[in-house]
């Protein structure tokens, strides 16, 4: 989340799209409800009327997978309305804080072929050069847009949109946005999504109200947005809308990802994703010969604001003050404090060019026999992953599996699943019982980036010497053994990396390194960082003397010469000599008046509760929203939340220090037009990999850069055999793959069986009565389920043809007290072009009575 849960209550408009927040994030609804009580409008967009829709002021039922058409239509509505009624929008924000006025190299928006410029049909990828700015040092700008009195705004009554837009440079970002999204008129969007033109008009007009100066709209999303072959672009299009409406950085605004499970945010922050190190630093690749080459590659060059703008300085935080070097060197020093960072850099594994290390390719590699062993910590990929028949078969190719969980689950028991003879499977499975969250100490970071400490309250069940152990203890004991084995083997690969690795998490007060009971608090201290020797930090003309072993106050003070250690720069300052472990803070007082609760736990970066908050004020430092000021410049200082960047507001700062607000981007302004994603500078509507219709928008049926597992392991269904759109989801009563809940009687009582939801119109056509047993089939598998027949799933009319949606739960399996088929037996093995997240939210299926 750019903002945080409590902040939702500050919103005037709430758009929940691709999320069933009421069921999967019930506590978020505490704040949605509070906002509604204060007059906020809740809009819910979903293929299915669910518990979130039941609370919405406006519910929009759209065909699954058509978010980009729906939101593209909203962009066109906003652009046109903005031109006619600029007084209803924050034009200053748009022009000063986004790249609306920037000039792009020479990119073309897609025509009938549905492809952007730079497409290489042989490589199946884009050359992104044409998407970049005309000048990547100081881009050109469209001067007409910089004037508050652009005559285009004046032509508000002109019915001919072209006339106004064509006054702008044809490579100006805002002009390109219009050129691209003018094809997304409401009639076309209605044909694609199945939403009526009247309903589109109503919902676009309602959400666009949040674009007014001083108003805020929030977008809440989750897996319904991301689990598509264009999932990253779905998120991008929300960001674009929020930038157009000046909703980023303000209270009650933002693009807010509701994370799918407890501590997903903490896992991402601390590098559990395959493409980033802790602190969102890109992983080393095989092209990085040494530390310097790596740092050069990952440190972006600064793009200064173009001439003619009142700003003249882009922070470009990653490269500012040599930050990337400070962070990477300190990280290497946290792990290998005795080694020269140039040496320890070589200990790190390097990602190979052209190899994808995400979930779908891992399963493929296991199936191909290339991956021999698998560690699973609290995971259940043969229920939670896509196309699990394939995944279940692939598991048998492993030599061994290390399974760490608090319950047995389907992956741990794949070798004795129904229909399989265990004697034919040679995989050796090791089970390590884990401690549940209340049985161990540590932090959990919520979606709003708040890292909150939890204490151990009970011992794990069982005999004292056979109890489940915390993940930290399991890894520590494993490492102790590894060090022993590596010590004995002089030829072991990358031996120095293991032998030199520092792993001293001895609890405070103990002197001897403790390899059995490591302290989570000591881990938190290492993540934050300390001085390895007496060291004087210099920053912005001030100095700070650190004694050896002292915690570092802030990441400004991290050293690029290796005198400080910090496991993750973003958490630097979360553990200080003066205040100790700030994740333990529990002061339930809100001094901000906008629900920041800054002394409750700690949040990255630097306890900033709303990121990009520099965009919450105008060029003089006055909050756009006087009712909910996040930050404000008063008497020569910032008050409120921790300001993003620092320094005076743009109009008051000296020349050369007039800073643009989006400090993490090299250009410092929000990107309406981007050049970072693999599949386009702006989102374009493609159909899902399996779709009931031909793409209405272009000849390109599905995302040309999507990741698709070859046909032999991933059959593709067609609409003649599989006429219905299937979408998968969770219910509130079971958690994820059900490992933790399908063995709890009080929850099983509420949701006792695997079921699918079928509209009463489709059920009538197929002769399915409520409670009937049905079979649902896709090209990849078949499941049995009980039919829940409901009015909440209705037939949509898509391009004059009726299209039915079938709702499928995926949380069941063959382990535990409550058994059933997982919806993921049906899902395809295809993934997003940028992240390879599987497309489990839209595919084709057929249904019949069992």
Residues that bind other proteins (CB under 8 A): 22-23, 26-27, 29-30, 33, 49, 51-55, 731-733, 745-753, 755, 769-772, 786-792
Which residues are bridge partners to 514 per DSSP? none
Return the closest-CA partner of residue 197 out of 182, 207, 186: 186
Return the closest-CA partner of residue 767 out of 758, 754, 779, 778: 758
> Based on the number of CB atoms within 10 Å of its own CB, is 681 exposed (0-12), middle (13-18) or buried (19 or more)?
buried
> Based on the number of CB atoms within 10 Å of its own CB, is 80 exposed (0-12), middle (13-18) or buried (19 or more)?
middle
Return the closest-CA partner of residue 817 out of 756, 755, 741, 750: 741
Number of H helices, E strands in the chain: 24, 33
145: number of CA atoms within 13 Å, CB side? 31
The DSSP symbol for 607 reads T
Looking up tokens 């709209």 gives 217
Is there a contact between 186 and 201 (Cβ–Cβ < 8 Å)? yes
**Could you tell me the smallest distance in angstroms from the CB atom of residue 203 to other proteins?**
15
Helix (H, G, I), strand (E, B) or coil at 392: helix
Which residues are bridge partners to 255 per DSSP? 219
| First vs last C-alpha separation in the chain | 43
Question: Can you read off the two tokens belonging to residue 549?
Answer: 């072993």
CA 406 to chain centroid, in Å, comes to: 26
Helix 67-84 × helix 186-193 angle, to 10°: 160
Looking up tokens 């083997």 gives 489
Return the closest-CA partner of residue 429 out of 407, 404, 406: 404
Residue 534, C-beta contacts closer than 8 angstroms, at least 6 positions apart: 545, 546, 547, 548
Is there a contact between 724 and 762 (Cβ–Cβ < 8 Å)? yes
Task: Please give the Cα distance from 639 to 464 (Å, whole number).
Answer: 52
Ordered alpha helix ranges (H), 184-263: 186-193, 197-208, 223-226, 231-244
Return the closest-CA partner of residue 102 out of 717, 675, 831, 743: 675
């Amino acid at each position: 989340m750019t903002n945080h849960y409590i902040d939702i209550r500050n919103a005037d408009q709430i758009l929940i799209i691709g999320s069933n927040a009421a069921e999967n994030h019930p506590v978020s609804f505490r704040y949605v409800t509070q906002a509604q009580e204060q007059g906020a409008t809740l809009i819910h967009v979903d293929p299915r009327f669910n518990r979130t829709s039941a609370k919405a002021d406006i519910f929009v039922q759209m065909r699954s997978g058509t978010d980009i058409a729906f939101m593209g239509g909203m962009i066109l509505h906003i652009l046109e309305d903005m031109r006619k009624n600029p007084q209803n929008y924050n034009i200053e924000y748009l022009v000063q804080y986004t790249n609306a006025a920037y000039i792009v190299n020479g990119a073309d928006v897609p025509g009938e072929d549905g492809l952007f410029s730079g497409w290489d049909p042989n490589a199946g990828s884009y050359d992104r050069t044409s998407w970049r700015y005309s000048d990547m040092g100081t881009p050109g700008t469209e001067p007409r847009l910089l004037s508050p009195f652009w005559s285009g705004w004046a032509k508000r009554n002109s019915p001919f949109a072209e006339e106004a837009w064509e006054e702008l440079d044809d490579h100006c970002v805002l002009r390109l946005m219009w050129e691209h999204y003018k094809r997304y008129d409401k009639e076309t969007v209605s044909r694609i999504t199945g939403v009526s033109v009247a309903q589109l008009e109503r919902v676009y007009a309602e959400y666009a109200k949040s674009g007014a100066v001083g108003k805020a709209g929030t977008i809440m999303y989750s897996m319904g947005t991301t689990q598509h072959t264009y999932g990253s672009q779905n998120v991008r299009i929300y960001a674009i809308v929020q930038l157009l409406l000046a909703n980023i950085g303000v209270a009650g605004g933002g693009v807010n990802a509701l994370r799918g499970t407890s501590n997903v945010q903490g896992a991402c922050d601390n590098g559990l994703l395959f493409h980033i190190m802790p602190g969102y630093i890109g992983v080393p690749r095989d092209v990085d010969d040494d530390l310097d080459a790596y740092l050069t590659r990952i440190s972006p060059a600064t793009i200064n604001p173009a001439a003619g703008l009142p700003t003249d300085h882009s922070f470009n935080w990653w490269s500012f003050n040599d930050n990337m070097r400070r962070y990477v060197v300190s990280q290497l020093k946290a792990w290998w404090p005795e080694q020269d960072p140039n040496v320890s850099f070589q200990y790190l594994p390097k990602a190979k060019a052209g190899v994808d290390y995400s979930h779908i390719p891992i399963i493929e590699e296991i199936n191909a026999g290339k991956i021999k062993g698998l560690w699973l910590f609290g995971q259940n990929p043969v229920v939670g992953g896509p196309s699990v028949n394939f995944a279940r078969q692939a598991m048998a190719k492993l030599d061994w599996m290390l399974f760490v969980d608090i319950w047995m689950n389907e992956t741990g028991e794949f070798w004795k699943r129904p229909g399989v003879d265990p004697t034919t499977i040679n995989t050796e499975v090791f089970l390590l019982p884990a401690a549940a969250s209340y049985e161990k100490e540590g932090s959990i970071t919520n979606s709003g980036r708040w890292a909150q400490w939890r204490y151990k309250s009970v011992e794990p069940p069982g005999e004292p010497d056979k109890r489940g152990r915390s993940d930290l203890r399991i890894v520590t004991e494993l490492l102790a053994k590894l060090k022993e084995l590596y010590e004995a083997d002089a030829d072991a690969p990358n031996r120095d990396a293991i032998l030199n690795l520092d792993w001293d998490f001895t609890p405070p007060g103990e002197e001897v390194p403790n390899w059995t009971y490591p302290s989570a608090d000591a881990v938190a201290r290492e993540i934050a960082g300390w001085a390895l020797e007496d060291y004087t930090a210099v920053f912005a003309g001030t100095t700070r003397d650190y004694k050896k072993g002292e915690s570092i106050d802030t990441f400004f003070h991290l050293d690029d010469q290796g005198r400080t250690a910090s496991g993750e720069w973003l958490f630097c300052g979360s553990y200080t000599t003066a205040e100790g472990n700030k994740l333990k803070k529990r002061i339930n007082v809100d001094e901000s008046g906008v629900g920041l609760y800054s002394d409750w736990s700690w949040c990255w970066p630097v306890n900033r509760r709303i990121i990009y908050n520099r965009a919450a004020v105008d060029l003089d430092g006055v909050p756009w929203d006087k009712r909910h000021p996040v930050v404000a410049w008063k008497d020569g200082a910032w008050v409120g939340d921790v300001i993003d960047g620092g320094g005076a507001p743009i109009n008051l700062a000296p020349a050369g220090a007039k800073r643009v607000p989006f400090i993490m981007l090299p250009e410092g302004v929000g990107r309406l037009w981007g050049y970072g994603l693999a599949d386009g500078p702006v989102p374009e509507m493609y159909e899902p990999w399996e779709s009931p219709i031909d793409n209405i928008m272009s000849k390109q049926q599905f995302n040309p850069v999507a990741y698709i597992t070859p046909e032999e392991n991933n059959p593709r269904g067609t609409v003649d055999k599989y006429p219905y759109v299937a979408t998968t989801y969770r219910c509130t009563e079971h958690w994820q793959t059900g490992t933790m809940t399908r063995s709890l009687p009080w929850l099983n009582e509420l949701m006792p069986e695997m079921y699918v939801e079928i509209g009463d119109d489709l059920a009538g056509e197929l002769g399915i009565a409520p409670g009937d047993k049905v079979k649902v089939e896709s090209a990849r598998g078949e499941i049995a389920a009980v039919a829940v027949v409901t009015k909440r799933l209705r037939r949509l009319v898509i391009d004059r043809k009726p299209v039915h949606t079938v709702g499928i739960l995926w949380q069941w399996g063959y382990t535990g007290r409550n058994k059933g088929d997982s919806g993921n037996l049906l899902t395809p093995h295809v993934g997003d072009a940028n992240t390879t997240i599987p497309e489990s939210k839209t595919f084709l299926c057929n249904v019949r009575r069992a």
